[in-house]
Amino acid sequence: MNILILGSGGRESAFAWKISQSEKCSKLFIAPGNAGTSAYGKNVNLKPTDFEGIKKFVLGNAVKMVLVGPEEPLVKGIHDYFLADEELRRIPVIGPQSEGAKLEGSKDFSKKFMMKHGIPTAAFKTFTKANLQEGFKYLESQKLPIVLKADGLAGGKGVLICTTLKEAQQELQQMLQADKFGEAGSKVIIEQFLEGIELSVFVLTDGNSYKILPEAKDYKRIGEGDTGLNTGGMGSVSPVPFADADFMRKVEERVILPTINGLKSDGIPYKGFIFIGLMNDAGNPYVIEYNVRMGDPETESVIPRIESDFVDLLLGVAEGNLDQKELIVSEKIATTIMLVAGGYPGEYLKGRGITGIDNVRHSIVFHAGTESDNGVIKSAGGRVLAITSLKDTLFDSVQTATADAGRIYYDGRYFRHDIGQDLFP
């Protein structure tokens, strides 16, 4: 079957790499893709939110499945668009309809969903411009630090952890009165600060049954030792040593089952990925957030550990028989290191020629923000390349990925040399 992947980052590169290995895939298209995805399929110059352009392409190229990488097209209703169209409705879209995508698209919605279904999460209250004064009062009654979250999609920037009451009040005012995050911040969630270690858990579901994919740890800060500004993610490791059988049993019982059952009982159809951002607080899981897609760079660590035919798993989602599919996961350890542009996550350098990719022999190089300029590979985004190494031991995996990251050069290249080292025994 012909498959179309929407997106252009490291996550989509990992999907494309895996799907291109499946006998069930005949032609693979990636829209828009990057300089690396053209090795696995054909790049198509279309934006993932250009629904009409996608329709034309899908019908013109006999595409029989669409895998949506990023959240934006899902929140904007690409799956609903397909279902509402006579010619498209039988072509499966992997990713929820807009109602399910609210789990990521509206933090207020997702918090209310968790409360309703008894899923452990931080205590919270939601405020708007109309009750700003109550918001100030509420802040006074809370412990510090305190977390403020814009309700809608804010490109990963909508979460503020405030350490003083003054800062929290100023930020609340900025969001609600000065439209700091525009429409996304017209509702603000004030949330208790959770202590603990973070973990990314991934679930694939057809709406009834589900498979728990390999979990991963994401390294969000730009600086070594988890310092400096937040980024989209500077590296990841899978599996995660503290996510042992006992902890994962709690995650399944307290979080995954009530999430899947809650979607069902609320009448929310859901076919796709659920990415659960968790805090492990003294062995107990609390949900920080849901995302309705896979994580990036977690996907670049998770996908190489999946040994089963990935297209077959996606067919299980599409056809509603995921329970009959087998998920085989490698015991090996995957470490992913992100090579980013100089200046990232602030204003960053672009269009720098990249050399040394061919020097990498023991890791997979997934392109993220790259483009081909007459055959020369150049940087085109903040996160440029993801280097993944799959090895028998954590030490080997971390060491190989770190060494291979160092084999690639471009002006301003930066990566963290400490990814995974906090997990060494």
Residue closer to ligand AMP, measured from CB, 156 or 351: 156
Q: Which does 151 bind (CB under 5 to 8 A by kind): ligand GLY, ligand AMP, none?
A: none
Residue 233 contacts ligand GLY per CB under 6 A: yes
Site map 167..206 versus ligand GLY, x via CB under 6 A: ----------------------------------------
- Three-class secondary structure assignment of 241-302: CCCCHHHHHHHHHHHHHHHHHHHHHCCCCCCEEEEEEEEEECCEEEEEEEECCCCCCHHHHH
Element (H, E) at 229: strand 227-230
Residues 287-326 that bind ligand AMP (CB under 6 A): 288-289
Q: With binding defined as CB under 6 A, does residue 218 bind ligand GLY?
A: yes
Query: Under rule CB under 6 A, which residues in 53-72 are in contact with ligand AMP?
Result: none
Distance CA 111, CA 102 (A): 11
Which residues face 150 on adjacent strands?
A: 188
The helix (H) or strand (E) run that includes residue 7 is strand 2-7
Least CB distance from residue 367 to ligand GLY, whole Å?
17
Q: Which of residues 275-304 bind ligand GLY (CB under 6 A)?
A: 291, 295-296, 298
Of the candidates 96, 149, 98, the one whose C-alpha atom is nearest the C-alpha of residue 260 is 96
- Total chain residues near ligand AMP (CB under 6 A): 12
Of residues 90-129, those binding ligand AMP (CB under 6 A) = 122
Nearer to ligand AMP (CB atom), residue 98 or residue 192? 192
Alpha helices in 107-160 (DSSP H): 107-116, 132-140
In sequence order, what E strands does 329-425 have?
A: 333-340, 364-367, 370-373, 376-379, 383-391
Q: Footprint of ligand AMP on residues 255-284 (CB under 6 A)? A: 277
Instruction: Quote the tokens at residue 358.
Output: 């061919």
Cβ-based nearer residue to ligand AMP, 79 or 149: 149
Cβ atoms of 127 and 134 closer than 8 Å: yes
- Mention every residue, 6+ apart, whose C-beta is less than 8 A from residue 228: 221, 222
The binder of 182, among ligand AMP, ligand GLY, none, by C-beta within 5 to 8 A per type, is none
Buried b (16+ CB within 10 A) or exposed e, 358-392: eebeebbbbbbbbbeeeeebbbbbbbbbbbbbbbe
When asked if residue 110 is in the footprint of ligand GLY (CB under 6 A), the reply is no
Q: Which of 99, 171, 191, 404 binds ligand AMP (CB under 6 A)?
A: 191
Length of the chain: 425
Q: Which is nearer to ligand AMP, 194 or 354 (CB)?
A: 194
Sole binder of ligand AMP in the list 50, 85, 167, 198 (CB under 6 A): 198
Mark the segment that binds ligand AMP (CB under 6 A) among 189-197, 294-302, 341-349, 386-394: 189-197
233 binds, among ligand AMP, ligand GLY, none (CB under 5 to 8 A by kind): ligand GLY
> By CB under 6 A, what part of segment 206-245 binds ligand AMP?
220
Number of other CB atoms surrounding residue 25 within 10 Å: 22
Angstrom distance (rounded) from CA 95 to CA 91: 13
Q: Which residues in 142-181 contact ligand AMP (CB under 6 A)?
A: 147, 156, 159
Tell me the closest approach of the beta carbon of residue 156 to ligand AMP, in angstroms.
6
Interacting partner of 295 out of ligand AMP, ligand GLY, none (Cβ under 5 to 8 A depending on kind): ligand GLY
User: Mind giving me the DSSP string for 60-115?
Assistant: HTTEEEEEE-SSHHHHTTHHHHHHT-TTTTTS-EES--HHHHHHHH-HHHHHHHHH
Whether 66 and 46 have beta carbons less than 8 Å apart is answered as no
The residues that touch ligand AMP, with contacts defined as CB under 6 A, are 122, 147, 156, 159, 191, 193-194, 198, 220, 277, 288-289
The residues that touch ligand GLY, with contacts defined as CB under 6 A, are 218, 233, 291, 295-296, 298
